[in-house]
Chain A
Amino acid sequence: MSDRILTTHVGALQRTPEAEAALLGEAPVEELTAAVADVVRRQVEAGIDVVDDGEYGKSIWQWYVTERLDGIERKEREGLAPLRGRDHLEFPDFYAYALATPNVLFHGSDRAFWNAIATVPVCVGPIAYKADPVERDIANLKAALDGADVADAFMPAVAPASAEVDMANEHYATQEELLWALADALREEYRAIVDAGFQLQVDDAWIPAMWDHDPSLDLETYRAYCRTRVEALNHALEGLPEDRVRYHLCWGSWHGPHATDIPLAEIVDLMLAVDAGTYLVEAANVRHEHEYHLWETVELPEGKKLAPGVVTHSTNLIEHPELVAERIVRFADRVGRENVIASTDCGMGSRIHPELGWAKLATLAEGARLATERLW
Chain B
Amino acid sequence: MLQVDDAVLMHEYDSILAEGGSVEDYRRWAELRVEALVHALRGLPEDRIRYHVCFGSWHGPHVHDPPLADLIDLVLKVPARYYLMEQGNPRHEHEWRIWEGVTLPEGKVLVPGVVTHHTTVVEHPEAVAQRLVRLANVVGRDSVMGGTDCGFAQGAFIQRVHPTIQWAKLEALAEGARLATKELYGAEAAS
Q: Which residues of A contact B (CB under 8 A)?
A: 91, 93-94, 97-98, 104, 255-259, 284-290, 293, 311-312, 314-320, 322-323, 326, 355-356, 359
| Inter-chain contacts of A355 with B (CB < 8 A) | 61
Q: Does B77 contact A (CB under 8 A)?
A: no
Q: How many angstroms between the C-alpha atoms of A317 and B130 in the bound complex?
A: 21
Q: How many angstroms between the C-alpha atoms of A238 and B164 in the bound complex?
A: 46
Complex A-B: 7 CB contacts under 8 Å: A94-B162, A285-B121, A286-B115, A286-B122, A290-B124, A317-B90, A318-B91
Q: Are A286 and B124 in contact (CB under 8 A)?
A: yes
Q: Are B164 and A285 in contact (CB under 8 A)?
A: no
Q: Which A-chain residue is minimally distant from B63 (CB atoms)? A: A318
Q: Are B164 and A318 in contact (CB under 8 A)?
A: no
| Inter-chain contacts of A288 with B (CB < 8 A) | 124
B88, B119, B127, B130, most chain A CB atoms within 10 A: B119
Q: Are B164 and A94 in contact (CB under 8 A)?
A: yes
* Chain B residues touching A, majority SS: loop
A98, A286, A312, A316, most chain B CB atoms within 10 A: A286
Q: Are B168 and A323 in contact (CB under 8 A)?
A: no
Q: Are B120 and A314 in contact (CB under 8 A)?
A: yes
Q: Are B163 and A93 in contact (CB under 8 A)?
A: yes
B88, B120, B122, most chain A CB atoms within 10 A: B120
* Chain A residues touching B, majority SS: loop
Q: Are B122 and A359 in contact (CB under 8 A)?
A: no
CB-CB contacts below 8 Å: B51-80 with A: 59-63
Contact with A along B118-139 (1 / 0, CB 8 A): 1111111011011000000000
Min C-beta distance of B92 to chain A, whole Å: 7
The 10 tightest CB contacts between A and B, nearest first, are A319-B90, A315-B119, A290-B127, A290-B126, A323-B94, A286-B123, A322-B94, A257-B122, A259-B122, A255-B120
Min C-beta distance of B27 to chain A, whole Å: 22
Q: Which A-chain residue is minimally distant from B62 (CB atoms)? A: A317
Q: Are B121 and A320 in contact (CB under 8 A)?
A: no
Q: Are A320 and B118 in contact (CB under 8 A)?
A: no
Min C-beta distance of B77 to chain A, whole Å: 25
Q: Does B181 contact A (CB under 8 A)?
A: no
Q: How many angstroms between the C-alpha atoms of A356 and B168 in the bound complex?
A: 27
B59, B90, B97, B124, most chain A CB atoms within 10 A: B90
**The residue from A98, A286, A356 contacting B116, defined by CB atoms under 8 A apart:** A286
Q: Are B118 and A317 in contact (CB under 8 A)?
A: yes
Q: Are A287 and B122 in contact (CB under 8 A)?
A: yes
| Inter-chain contacts of B93 with A (CB < 8 A) | 320, 323
Min C-beta distance of B119 to chain A, whole Å: 4
Q: Does B165 contact A (CB under 8 A)?
A: yes
Q: How many angstroms between the C-alpha atoms of A123 and B94 in the bound complex?
A: 49
| Inter-chain contacts of B143 with A (CB < 8 A) | none
**The residue from A255, A256, A320 contacting B90, defined by CB atoms under 8 A apart:** A320
**The residue from B91, B120, B127, B163 contacting A319, defined by CB atoms under 8 A apart:** B91
| Inter-chain contacts of A97 with B (CB < 8 A) | 162
Q: A317-B61, A318-B62 are in contact. Are A255 and B121 (CB under 8 A)?
A: yes
B60, B94, B118, B129, most chain A CB atoms within 10 A: B94
Q: Are B126 and A317 in contact (CB under 8 A)?
A: no
Q: Are B63 and A285 in contact (CB under 8 A)?
A: no
Q: How many angstroms between the C-alpha atoms of A255 and B163 in the bound complex?
A: 15
| Inter-chain contacts of B88 with A (CB < 8 A) | 286
Q: A257-B168, A286-B124 are in contact. Are A318 and B119 (CB under 8 A)?
A: no
Q: Are A286 and B119 in contact (CB under 8 A)?
A: yes
Q: How many angstroms between the C-alpha atoms of A288 and B125 in the bound complex?
A: 10
Q: Are A285 and B91 in contact (CB under 8 A)?
A: no
A93, A293, A323, most chain B CB atoms within 10 A: A323
Q: Are A317 and B124 in contact (CB under 8 A)?
A: no
Q: Which A-chain residue is minimally distant from B171 (CB atoms)? A: A259
A285, A288, A356, most chain B CB atoms within 10 A: A285
Q: Which B-chain residue is minimally distant from A310 (CB atoms)? A: B90
